[in-house]
Structure 1
């Protein structure tokens, strides 16, 4: 923008200078020519009276002292003064008795007829072309220098103006990029024209409003999550009253898992807005533990669980809590949206270059078309399960895709990037 403003001012200045200096240059040349012709004409007019009143000797003496070369053609054919053959203009002036000014190869020729007692004499002089343009070159150089100086001055002023205009815009752009990187403390300094100051104020107000909304969201999530601790405590107490130790242990483990998830939500809400260190986990351990947990429910609902897990640790750039939440969300979708007896499969394979590929598939009816969109579900759910899995995959630079399985069911694939650090 700064360059464009400078070029615009330069172009405008050049056009104005051309419109002013070109006519002025022609005028200077015309004035110089008129001055030279006027000087020669004055000399000729001074000689004209002498032609009619003086004899040849006196006239020759006057011609020799003239400041410009003057030739007099007498009626008897004699030529006095500067020797020059009669030209067509001289003959025409003698015949017509009229004064002429003619441009010729040598310059501008001035002829004046004089009527004497012996006939018509003609006084002639020539203004050389060098005298017609005397001083014009210097004047044009001065005009060109003046034009260049004005253009340079205009460029300096335009650059200064553009810098004062572009600097606040660049600052606004930098602040907007910082806000996009979740640096919500970034603020713009109002500067520049009133319009830019107004934009800076609006951007600062927007940043403050975003901070207020995020603070309210964190407080609401933390409050809501904290309220869940009371029913979880009651659930744990109820589990302790069960007579079957296996059922009691299973219910207590479920309550502990929910409590861990609630704690993670509270911590995440409190840390939102600040940068978190990227941590990783052993995907093999997390997936094995969560599949074992859901296998109990699968047995109760007559579902076969096909698992394909590596026998060695598989590090990925996803925190253990996030990966467990993603897997719980995907497996929960299978149990919630497929009929009992529907088989499911969980596979985890290493990815070339680091990381792994986690795939969850089932032989059910598949996903509705709107399923991949957050908050949209065709089955009466919240529609957030897939989004939780997507965010978990993207935490470490991975991705998620939803596709149809080989048997017509649903298949969700999480691309998990390799870790930076292990948690």
Structure 2
């Protein structure tokens, strides 16, 4: 990743430098040669003015010192060299100067500028200024070397910035890869940290969300077998109790026992169906089928009366009038009450009271017995928690709270002595 980012950044820097340096180099060449011609023309014009119209006489001609490294000479109309340094035989640019125009051209290895000398609107001579092309190219090459040096410095800086940027961009992605490897190895607690790069943070958030959902699914799958076994224990115990009673009582009517066994088998089948439905309910419809509170209590009383009576205990139901006709999520509430009643039967004592009443337009169902809750109330709903007397140990209360939260309800410990749990169910 780092090498790819570095290569891309380096390629971009090289392309940018080429796009800048090549036109700049061409511009330097054009500019240097243009400046040299301008200097030559300026020197020739200065000499033409200084020479004047009398240079054709026998008087010596004094030329100004050339401002460049080249030559400066004056020729008469016969193209004879009268003064200065230059070829003895006038070259083509010098001959062209006799036409009365300033001529700029190359002659051999020199840049030449020829300026006519006029008198009374007649050309009487030509001033020739020249400089070697090699000298101009030497200056051009020096300028190109300076540009190349600047480009190399810029490229070095670009490489350093690209390396730093590649490290900054690749580090969070490498971290994401390590987190993904940890998750693949089974560490579902691994989470990606924010990096300050918006796109990478979006990817990290998506990965964290995926891992959280995966952890939830795996926890649900791991707990499903234990939850199902826990919820099936009660109807199985009731069925076994019915069959044992029929077996130990010779005077019992077998048909009554079979009918009761059929009813309890139906309850067992419904419990299995409830557990399966609750494990598969979509998030958009977490409450499942609805039913009235009166119907729910009648069903619960029929199922639990015998199992508590077998231990010499009573169960009492009471419902406030306006609450009994409210609709509740049957599967969730049935399983929650089964957990709470099984908890009261196994760990509690005395009479079990199940009360439904209204609390600020919310249906509240209390399950209370005459026992106490020695376990820490803050931990009793944690899966696997065990108190000094195993009150609320293991799976049941954790499952009940999960079922309550799944349908938008709440399960709380209302009192630890006597033990009372309360389920708060919002109205439909």
TM-score (normalizing by structure 2): 0.48
Tell me the TM-score normalized by structure 1.
0.49
